[in-house]
């Protein structure tokens, strides 16, 4: 029995695909071992979203070869797809597998071991309409399962390499998604998170009912209690869309709306296809149909040419929207994108300063949102038991993804149970107490 060590880099889609690869390898007789142990095969599911991500991918591949020079080191995914020449020249890499071929990992390894030849299963990702069929039956988590519903992106933001790494939009068939989610519900998972590269585009390539139609069918699955959406493009959030999903109580009132900048001139340079005015109306629509929805976002600071005035506009705008949480990224060059060639590249020091300003704003807004939950009833899906300050708590999340804790006896088991109670106070900066 050959041993395999796996390491994942990057996004939730990569995480889902790594879980499927591990499942397939186990089904085909491979033994899974930790990445820091000696293994016959090392698989690194790579990321290429920034130059730094490329470097981390190379570092992990080289680390694997150093751990066991006789092992087969396999580079998989986005870095392989976008920089094939560098991968081919890297002596630490024995086998390279691009996107849309991860579901063949076991067969590709078997072929390699039988021939000991370095084959090149990398397709022209930009010219395929094939969705890579994968199905997951279990995950490392016991309460929440991520489900991939589409791949690829047609947006071509000026800072982003992903359309070149993942190709155009390709949607997974509804029936296949339903089978996977039904299996997850039967296995006891109460919450699913729909993920993909650009889930707002789901169905546009198949002539099907799109994301609302899929959600309506998922909502009918018995045993499933929560449906959480991954990142949404603001333009999909029309009044009709919000009206439809607000009629489905299983959908969590937790919406991640990608922003990137709160300044119209920067959004234009980014090739984002909305204005701050349109974005704000989207947030207001969600608040019209939901009581206190948790609205989260991503923001890039220090985009090429971003002036102090443009940055201040972003700071004012995020406070105006009043987000629950923000993921703040310092702009990082990515070779092969238009933004990497733009004038006005900012210093790391300036990007760090701006990031700190938004981080402080995020901290204030997040505290206020949590504080506003005090005195209100909430349902918490419990995930893990922890000892904090000498007391035993079960920790979980509300539908809004607010972390909450219930003090219990040490022998009480609340794993994967939903408990209703009242939020009473802060346990610490990030966790509320449920009673």
**pLDDT tens per residue, range 341-388:** 999 999 999 999 999 999 999 999 999 999 999 999 999 999 999 999
In a domain, 130, yes or no: no
List the one residue out of 82, 14, 35, 91 whose CA is nearest residue 54.
Answer: 82
For residue 313, give the H/E element and its range: helix 308-321
Q: Which two tokens stand for residue 112?
A: 């390699």
Q: Report pTM.
A: 0.91
pLDDT of residue 126: 62
Q: Strand, helix or coil at 108?
A: helix
pLDDT of residue 367: 98
In a domain, 274, yes or no: yes
In a domain, 390, yes or no: yes
Same domain, 153 and 115: no
List the one residue out of 144, 132, 174 whose CA is nearest residue 17.
Answer: 132
Same domain, 363 and 395: no
pLDDT of residue 117: 61
Same domain, 24 and 91: yes
The single-letter DSSP state of residue 257 is: B
* Mean pLDDT (whole number) for 227-240: 96
In a domain, 61, yes or no: yes
Domain count within the chain: 3
Position 122 pLDDT exceeds 70: no
pLDDT of residue 46: 96
Position 329 pLDDT exceeds 60: yes
Rounded to whole angstroms, the Cα distance separating 312 from 354 reads 9
Which domain, by its residues, includes 162? 144-371
Same domain, 400 and 349: no
In a domain, 128, yes or no: no
Q: List Cα–Cα distances, 434 to 142, 299, 401, 403, 404, in angstroms.
A: 21, 31, 14, 10, 6
| pLDDT bracket for residue 136 (50, 70, 90) | confident
Rounded to whole angstroms, the Cα distance separating 154 from 103 reads 23
Same domain, 253 and 344: yes
pLDDT of residue 127: 57
In a domain, 367, yes or no: yes
* Mean pLDDT (whole number) for 24-53: 94
**115/203: higher pLDDT:** 203
Q: Report H helices in 28-170.
A: 51-67, 78-82, 84-89, 105-115, 162-166
pLDDT of residue 250: 98
In a domain, 137, yes or no: no
Same domain, 358 and 305: yes
Same domain, 365 and 382: no
Position 120 pLDDT exceeds 80: no
| pLDDT bracket for residue 262 (50, 70, 90) | very high
Alpha carbons within 13 A on the beta-carbon side of 125: 31
* Mean pLDDT (whole number) for 51-74: 95
Position 119 pLDDT exceeds 60: no
Same domain, 293 and 197: yes
Q: List Cα–Cα distances, 186 to 1, 71, 134, 138, 398, in angstroms.
A: 31, 38, 18, 11, 22
Instruction: Sort residue 416 into left (φ over 0), alpha (ψ -120 to 50) or beta.
Output: left
- Boundary of a domain, candidates 344, 371, 398: 371
Same domain, 222 and 294: yes
In a domain, 138, yes or no: no
Query: Are 255 and 294 spatial neighbours (Cβ–Cβ below 8 Å)?
Result: yes
pLDDT of residue 356: 98
Positive or negative CA dihedral for 175, 176, 177, 181?
positive
CA dihedral 232, 234, 235, 240 (to 10 degrees): 80
Same domain, 230 and 363: yes
Same domain, 359 and 219: yes
Rounded to whole angstroms, the Cα distance separating 299 from 139 reads 30
Rounded to whole angstroms, the Cα distance separating 370 from 428 reads 11
* Other Cβ atoms within 10 Å of 277 Cβ, number: 9
Contacts of 228 (CB under 8 A, 6+ apart): 144, 191, 192, 193, 194, 251, 252, 254, 401
Same domain, 252 and 303: yes
pLDDT of residue 304: 98
CATH of the domain at 90: 3.40.50.12160
Position 284 pLDDT exceeds 80: yes
- Quote the strand ranges of 131-266, DSSP E: 144-151, 170-171, 191-196, 226-229, 254-256
* Mean pLDDT (whole number) for 130-154: 84
CATH of the domain at 198: 3.80.30.20
**109/119: higher pLDDT:** 109
Positive or negative CA dihedral for 78, 80, 86, 87?
positive
* Mean pLDDT (whole number) for 86-105: 91
């Amino acid at each position: 029995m050959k041993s395999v060590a796996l390491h994942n880099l990057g996004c939730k889609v990569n995480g889902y695909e790594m879980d499927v690869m591990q499942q397939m390898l186990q089904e085909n007789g491979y033994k899974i071992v930790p990445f820091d142990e000696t293994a016959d095969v090392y698989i690194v599911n790579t990321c290429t979203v920034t130059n730094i991500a490329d470097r981390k991918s190379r570092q992990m591949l080289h680390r694997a070869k150093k751990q066991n020079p006789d092992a087969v080191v396999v580079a998989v995914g986005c870095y392989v797809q976008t920089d094939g020449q560098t991968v081919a020249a890297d002596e630490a890499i024995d086998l390279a597998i691009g996107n849309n071929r991860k579901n063949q990992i076991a067969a590709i390894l078997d072929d390699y071991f039988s021939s000991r030849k370095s084959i090149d299963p990398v397709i022209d990702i930009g010219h395929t309409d094939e969705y890579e069929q994968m199905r997951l039956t279990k995950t490392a988590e016991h309460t929440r399962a991520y489900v991939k519903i589409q791949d690829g992106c047609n947006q071509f933001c000026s800072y982003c390499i992903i359309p070149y790494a993942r190709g155009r939009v390709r949607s997974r068939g509804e029936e296949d998604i339903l089978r996977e989610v039904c299996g997850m519900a039967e296995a006891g998972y109460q919450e699913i998170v729909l993920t993909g590269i650009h889930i707002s585009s789901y169905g546009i390539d198949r002539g099907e009912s799109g994301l609302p139609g899929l959600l309506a069918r998922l909502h009918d699955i018995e045993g499933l209690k929560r449906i959480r959406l991954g990142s949404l493009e603001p333009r999909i959030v029309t009044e009709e869309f919000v009206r439809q999903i607000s009629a489905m109580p299983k959908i969590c009132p937790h919406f991640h709306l990608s922003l990137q900048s709160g300044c119209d001139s920067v959004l234009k340079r980014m090739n984002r296809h909305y204005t701050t005015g349109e974005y704000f109306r989207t947030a207001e629509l969600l608040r019209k149909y939901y009581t206190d929805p948790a609205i989260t976002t991503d923001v890039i600071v220090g985009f090429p040419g971003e002036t102090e005035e443009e940055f201040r506009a972003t700071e004012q705008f995020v406070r105006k929207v009043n987000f629950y949480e923000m993921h703040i990224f310092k702009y990082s060059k990515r070779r092969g994108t238009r933004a990497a060639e733009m004038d006005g590249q900012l210093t790391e020091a300036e990007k760090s300063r701006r990031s700190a300003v938004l981080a402080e704003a995020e901290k204030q807004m997040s505290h206020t949102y949590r504080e506003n939950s005090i005195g209100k009833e909430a349902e918490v899906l419990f995930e893990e038991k922890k000892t904090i300050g000498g007391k035993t708590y079960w920790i979980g999340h509300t539908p809004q993804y607010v972390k909450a804790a219930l003090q219990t006896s040490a022998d009480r088991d609340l794993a994967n149970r939903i408990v209703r109670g009242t939020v009473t106070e802060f346990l610490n900066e990030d966790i509320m107490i449920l009673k």
